[in-house]
Amino acid sequence: MLIWAITANGGGGGRIFNFGSEYSRVANFCNDNSIGLSPKPCLGFLAFTLVELLVVIAIIGVLIALLLPAVQAAREASRRAKCSSNLRQLGIALHNFHDTNNHLPSGMQKIHTAPSANQHKFGTLIVLCPFFEQSALYDAFVNATGAIGYEGWPAVTVNLTLSGLVCPSNSGEVPIAATNYYGRNNYHVMFGDVAVRGGVADTSNDARVDCPRGFLGLKNSFKEMAGISDGLSNTIAMSERVGLKAARQQYSSTNPKAGAVRISTWTDTYAATRQECITAQIATTATAAGNSPGIQWGNGDVSNNGLMTILAPNMACCAGADWGDRLIVNTPSSQHPAGVNCLFGDASVHMISASINAITPGQTDSTAILKDNQESGISHWGVWGALGSAIGSEAASIP
């Protein structure tokens, strides 16, 4: 391509110079009548003024400000879809487990006979491993030797995080380097609209502990899907929970989604209320309970991997002592702006808003919370409680 420059000579006529490889034209005709042009001022080189440049920069800034929220919303929609897909796969695994064994897994189960005080704490996710393409990992648990359980997991599982057990929206949750912490997870099983008695759940290895109102039994208790009388499509099987980011037994009143606040009076026999948990949640003196959500995916301990539909989504979790004789109330939570993803018994996944109705007419926050061994009656906690209850006979559906 040629470069041409057109200039004015001393006699007023235009001269054209050929510079070769690029095309450029500089017009500087000054009163050149010899080529039929009317008198015009000399134009010289054209350029942006400072004001024009600033206006362009301002327009670009406005466009970025308008587009950024849309980009962030699109990214969150993608993360939420991935989270929903993760739960959906766990739902399919639950159904395949049931088809193979003719019953559902338990929240905790004993799958090993090696000596261990905690060998009953193998969680639901461990026994589901063969049904989401982790058979080798399940074999590592079953075939391990030596002390097995809460304090002695097989070496292959220590700090092992499976991507399918982590919600992509929960950034900053990394494995904690310690022998008792074995990988991240955000998906926990549902025990209904009741407080779980930790002292009962932590009894001897072979004991059976039912949870009639939950989708799963607590320990060595294996339900059939046919026993979910409220219907699989109306009963939550699993949901998500924000995990701890740094250390075990962590709690902050400014971020109640992670960890649990301790209420010392909450023993197995205590008549606990939601109001006590709500009050403790916002107290500046709140201290952490023995609760380690999201950092022990294989541990079936309810305080780590169990959920209840008592408090509305994204509200606080509360517990009594660190372990043993204590009541446990864990609330589903997430970093999704719309609410929490919930897996239902029919393997469908639905986003449940944090503003869902969570109180039944005639009940108050001072109503005593039912315990895991209680059965009859509709839920005290509105539509939210009804979706968590497996046998409440409530006329509730997914909002």
Q: Record the tokens describing residue 93, joined without a space.
A: 């695994």
Residue 295 pLDDT > 60? yes
Report whether pLDDT(18) > 50. Answer: no
Q: Between 361 and 146, name the one with better pLDDT.
A: 361
CB 391 within 8 A of CB 229: yes
According to the model, what pLDDT value does residue 154 have?
67
| Helix H or strand E encompassing 187 | strand 187-190
pLDDT, average across residues 364-378? 90
**What is the predicted pLDDT for the residue at 16?**
45
Mean pLDDT over the full length of the chain: 80
Which residues partner with 195 through β-bridges? 371
The values of phi and psi at residue 306, to 5°, are -125, 150
CA distance 4 to 20: 8
Q: Which residues lie closer than 8 Å to 65 by C-beta, 6 or more apart?
A: none
Coil, helix or strand at residue 131:
helix
User: What is the rounded distance in angstroms from the CA atom of residue 225 to the CA atom of residue 347?
Assistant: 12
pLDDT of residue 276: 93
Query: Residue 331: which pLDDT band, with cuts at 50, 70 and 90?
Result: very high
The token duo for 240 is 């998500």
Question: In this prediction, what percent of the chain has a pLDDT beyond 90?
Answer: 39
Kindly indicate the confidence band of residue 17, based on its pLDDT and cuts at 50, 70 and 90.
Answer: very low
Within 158-272, where are the H helices? 198-201
Question: Which of the four pLDDT bands, split at 50, 70 and 90, describes residue 358?
Answer: very high
Q: Categorize the per-residue pLDDT at 191 as very low, low, confident or very high, splitting at 50, 70 and 90.
A: very high
Q: What is the tens place of the pLDDT at every residue in 199-213? A: 777 666 678 889 999
Q: What is the pLDDT of residue 13?
A: 46
- The percent of residues in the chain predicted with pLDDT above 70, rounded, is 74
Integer Cα distance of 44 and 278 in angstroms: 74
Amino acid at 57: I
Give the dihedral sign, CA 135/144/105/330.
negative
Residue 240 bridge partners (DSSP): 187
Contact 381, 368 (CB under 8 A): no
Confidence grade of residue 140 (pLDDT, cut at 50, 70, 90): confident
Q: Are 91 and 342 in contact (CB under 8 A)?
A: no
Cβ atoms of residues 327 and 197 within 8 Å: yes
Q: In this structure, are residues 119 and 205 in contact, taking their beta carbons and an 8 Å threshold?
A: yes
* Residue that has been written with the tokens 């294989």 in this structure: 298
366 pLDDT band (50/70/90 cuts)? very high
CA–CA distance, 298 with 395 (Å, rounded to integer): 35
DSSP output for 74-114: HHHHHHHHHHHHHHHHHHHHHHHHHHHHSSPPPSEE----S
